[in-house]
Amino acid sequence: MFLKVALTAVLASAALSLNWCHAQDTTTFPTLGEVVRLDPALDELIEPGAKIEVLAGGFDWSEGPVWVPRDGGFLLFSDIPPNRVMKWVEGQGVSVFLDPSGYTGVGRYSREPGSNGMFLDPKGDLTLCEHGDRRVAMMTWDGGKRTLVDNYQGKRLNSPNDCVWSARGDLYFTDPPYGLPGQWDSPQRELDFCGVYRLSPAGELSLVDRTLNRPNGIGLSPDGRTLYVAQSESRAAIWRKYPVADDGSVGDGELFFDATEQGRQMRGLPDGLAVDAAGNVWATGPGGVWVFSPEGEPLGRIATGEATANCCFGGADGSHLYMTADMWLCRIKTKSKGQGF
């Protein structure tokens, strides 16, 4: 709490709102939290003494970061309640990139109407999980959006949350109820479950799993043969892993890690995740970002001190982990690299 008050005071005294980084000496940023080392192997992934930098603040609920390599490189992330996508550029700070981002209807829709998770498709175009419009959409860089999927067997999706593309062109995404008015109790809900889905390159939508109460973050191993899904459920705060066949179809899931007990002691639940080029899983959860080996062994935790929603790799060489933590946008330098760098 002291950290939040102190950093908020910095924002207020600077009187710079979302652009407070813009006018600062951006060679140095405020820091927060700590790295908790559970296994010596974490030293091979995060340098001892590495700091969690606060790049920007003042957001309602930051989510869904994605690194975009075009135009010199920049980070996009969702600010869900005000229905917008923000853009952060090194040395320049934050600006509004897309408004509205996830709800294009009239009037107020819900508490979380905006876009959530974002990902670049194999061509490099932007994919958005849009809460309010209840769809997964694609936006090209020369303008315009189109709907990729908005229903399952004729029933509207709940509120797509997070997504990942495979190299062969399969789109996997999760569909909890967080963006609906009233969430699960919404009269507008049409499906009686929260699903994990696969949209094939041919445009065929199939259900991967309907047994998770609140599926959330999602990611793929570097070889594309393992799909990871987080569940944001306090009674079962878990990550599952699923085998992926050569044709993109997905087999039955099994437990990757159970953080239910830790969820009773620390803020946050399993949410967004990123998988590095070596197959290590960096997953937001109780107490910050958990770092797992490909075998599911917990190596450590990047403890932000806030409920941390999502993360992605980015930067010039793909070695920075960018994190959305409540009202903050943060990053930490790692020894890892994101896939594709």
Instruction: Tell me the pLDDT tens digit for each residue of 78-101.
Output: 999 999 999 999 999 999 999 999
Residue 247 lies in a domain: yes
| Residue entry with tokens 């994990």 | 196
Per-residue confidence band for 15, with pLDDT thresholds at 50, 70 and 90:
very low
Name the pLDDT band for 324 (thresholds 50, 70, 90): very high
Residue 184 CA to residue 330 CA, distance in Å, equals 31
> Residue with structure tokens 């997953």?
283
HEC secondary structure over 123-186? CCCEEEEECCCCEEEEECCCCCEEEEECEECCEECCCCCCEEECCCCCEEEEECCCCCCCHHHC
C-alpha distances in Å from residue 239, one per residue of 218, 219, 273, 291: 9, 11, 10, 12
Residue at 10 is within a domain: yes
Q: Which residues contact 265 (CB under 8 A, 6 or more apart)?
A: 286, 287
- What are 30-42's pLDDT values in tens digits? 999 999 999 999 9
Distance from C-alpha of 157 to C-alpha of 27, rounded to nearest angstrom: 43
Q: Count CB atoms within 10 A of the CB of residue 150.
A: 14
Nearest to 241 by CA among 266, 265, 261, 270: 270
For the chain, what is the mean pLDDT?
Answer: 93
55's enclosing H/E stretch is: strand 52-56
Q: What does the pLDDT average to over 190-208?
A: 98
- Residues 208 and 172: their CA atoms lie apart, in Å, by 9
202-235 residues labelled b (16+ CB within 10 A) or e (exposed): eeebeebbeebebbbbbbbbbebebbbbbbbbee
pLDDT score recorded for residue 262: 96
Give how many domains the chain has, as a whole number.
1
Q: Could you give the percent of the chain with pLDDT greater than 90?
A: 91
Which tokens is 62 given? 């930051």
pLDDT digits (tens, 9 = 90+) for 102-159: 999 999 999 999 999 999 999 999 999 999 999 999 999 988 999 999 999 999 999 9
Query: pLDDT tens-digit profile of 229-276?
Result: 999 999 999 999 999 999 999 999 999 999 999 999 999 999 999 999
Query: What's the pTM?
Result: 0.93
The pLDDT value recorded for residue 143 is 82
Q: Is 323 helix (H, G, I), strand (E, B) or coil?
A: strand
Task: Give tens-digit pLDDT for 205-232.
Answer: 999 999 999 999 999 999 999 999 999 9
Range of the domain at 15: 2-333
Q: How confident is the model at residue 3 (pLDDT cuts 50, 70, 90)?
A: very low
Res 28: pLDDT: 84
Tell me: pLDDT of 288 over 60: yes
Q: What pLDDT was estimated at residue 27?
A: 61
Instruction: Report the sign of the C-alpha dihedral through residues 177, 165, 244, 271, in that order.
Output: negative
What confidence category does residue 4 fall into, taking pLDDT thresholds of 50, 70 and 90?
Answer: very low
Within a domain: 338:
no
- Cα separation, 134 vs 251, whole angstroms: 26
Task: Give the Cα separation of 239 and 237 in Å (integer).
Answer: 7
Distance CA 53, CA 331 (A): 5
**CATH label of the domain that carries residue 328:** 2.120.10.30
Would you say residue 23 has pLDDT above 80?
A: no
Residue 339 lies in a domain: no
Q: Is residue 341 part of a domain?
A: no
pLDDT of 14 over the 60 cut: no
pLDDT at position 21, please? Answer: 43
